[in-house]
């Protein structure tokens, strides 16, 4: 089994025998699953601490919704939302904090406030200066595949060869990161569940996730409460179903289990406590030896 060790700030994350959990902390009024729940700094910090208690290995702080058809927010507004949370949270927890952003100024301010990972859904393409910031601060980066942008990505996405097209995209993103001074040992890849994919695309990505191991980087996957789960479980449109109902969490845990068995090293989720239990069992099955 391939193992990886990634240093981030004063932390080292090892991947291989144990799947790591990235807990989602949305400091937004409009995220699809928990928008507004943790919009104040106090509520966000308290929830971040709860995620750590529940078993998170990374806390992923985001200040801009990336749900389908969402609008962008300004640099100033995004920074205003996340920086105070990261500043306070980094002093209270003993695990790495990642900043979920595509904007260089936000990433820079977040790192200076205590974040030690950049989770960039734009894979360094949305802002030409992002790679330079990651290289300067020596922080790991998550490079995610997305077809289009959040405003357009779910408008009839089409692929000629789903797995190979996404693999090629991620291979090019890795090469670009390295050319810009980011060490290969600091790169994490994410095939982008729900970002420019149909229900069938998402299912195939999870089923064939092991094919991305050839890119020789830890694999992150984020199926939590995504619309493909709602579309499978219910007959009515996904937008008409609340994202925090128990059935969706059951569906999420099924997707998490399948992803881990097919090669995921990190799972990005809302329900850390439930995922911790799921992974405990799935990792035991995966690591069983005769």
Kindly list the domain boundaries of the chain, sorted by start residue. Answer: 17-285
Residues whose CB is less than 8 angstroms from the CB of residue 159 and which lie 6 or more positions away in sequence, other chains included? 147, 165, 166, 201
Beta strands (DSSP E) in 36-167 are 58-62, 97-100, 117-120, 141-144
pLDDT, average across residues 102-124: 97
User: Measured between alpha carbons, how far is 75 from 67 in angstroms, rounded to an integer?
Assistant: 18
Catalytic residue among 268, 277, 286, 289: 268
The pLDDT of residue 127:
93
pLDDT, average across residues 179-190: 97
Q: Do 124 and 144 form a contact (C-beta atoms < 8 A)?
A: no
In this prediction the pTM is 0.92
Catalytic residue among 20, 103, 147, 226: 226
Tokens 């990005």 found at:
268
| CATH of 17-285 given 3.40.50.10490, 3.20.20.20, 3.40.50.1820, 3.40.50.620 | 3.20.20.20
Q: Tell me if residue 88 is catalytic.
A: no
Is the model's pLDDT at 151 over the cut of 70?
Answer: no
Residues whose CB is less than 8 angstroms from the CB of residue 143 and which lie 6 or more positions away in sequence, other chains included? 120, 123, 124, 170, 173, 174, 177, 187, 188, 189, 190
Model confidence pLDDT, tens digit, residues 77-87: 999 999 999 99
User: Measured between alpha carbons, how far is 144 from 173 in angstroms, rounded to an integer?
Assistant: 9
Length of the chain measured in residues = 290
pLDDT, average across residues 137-147: 96
**Which has more confidence, 273 or 39?**
273
DSSP state, 182? -
Q: Which helix (H) or strand (E) holds 172?
A: helix 162-179
The pLDDT of residue 287:
93
Query: Chain-wide mean pLDDT for the chain?
Result: 91
Q: Tell me if residue 226 is catalytic.
A: yes
Is the model's pLDDT at 36 over the cut of 60?
Answer: no
């Amino acid at each position: 089994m391939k193992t990886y060790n990634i240093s981030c700030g004063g932390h080292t994350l090892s991947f291989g025998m144990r799947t790591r959990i990235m807990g989602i902390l949305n400091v937004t009024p409009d995220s699809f699953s928990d928008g507004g729940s943790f919009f104040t700094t106090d509520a966000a910090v308290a929830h971040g601490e709860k995620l750590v208690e529940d078993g998170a290995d990374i806390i992923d702080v985001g200040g801009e919704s990336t749900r389908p058809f969402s609008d962008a927010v300004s640099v100033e507004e995004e920074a205003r939302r996340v920086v105070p949370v990261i500043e306070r949270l980094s002093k209270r927890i003993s695990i790495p904090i990642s900043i979920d952003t595509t904007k260089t100024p936000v990433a820079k301010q977040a790192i200076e406030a205590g974040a030690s990972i950049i989770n960039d859904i734009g894979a360094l393409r949305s802002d030409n200066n992002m790679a330079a910031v990651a290289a300067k601060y020596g922080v790991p980066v998550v490079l995610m595949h997305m077809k289009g942008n959040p405003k357009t990505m779910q408008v009839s996405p089409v692929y000629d060869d789903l797995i190979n097209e996404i693999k090629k995209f991620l291979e090019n993103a890795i090469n670009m990161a390295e050319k810009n001074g980011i060490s290969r040992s600091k790169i994490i890849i994410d095939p982008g569940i729900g970002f420019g994919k149909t229900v069938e695309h998402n299912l195939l990505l999870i089923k064939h996730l092991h094919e991305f191991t050839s890119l020789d980087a830890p694999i992150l996957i984020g199926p939590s409460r995504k619309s493909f789960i709602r579309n499978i479980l219910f007959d009515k449109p996904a937008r008409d179903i609340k994202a925090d109902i128990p059935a969706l969490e059951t569906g999420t845990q099924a997707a998490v289990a399948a992803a881990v068995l097919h090669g995921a090293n990190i799972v990005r989720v809302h329900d850390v406590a439930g995922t911790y239990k799921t992974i405990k069992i799935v990792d035991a099955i995966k690591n069983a030896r005769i």
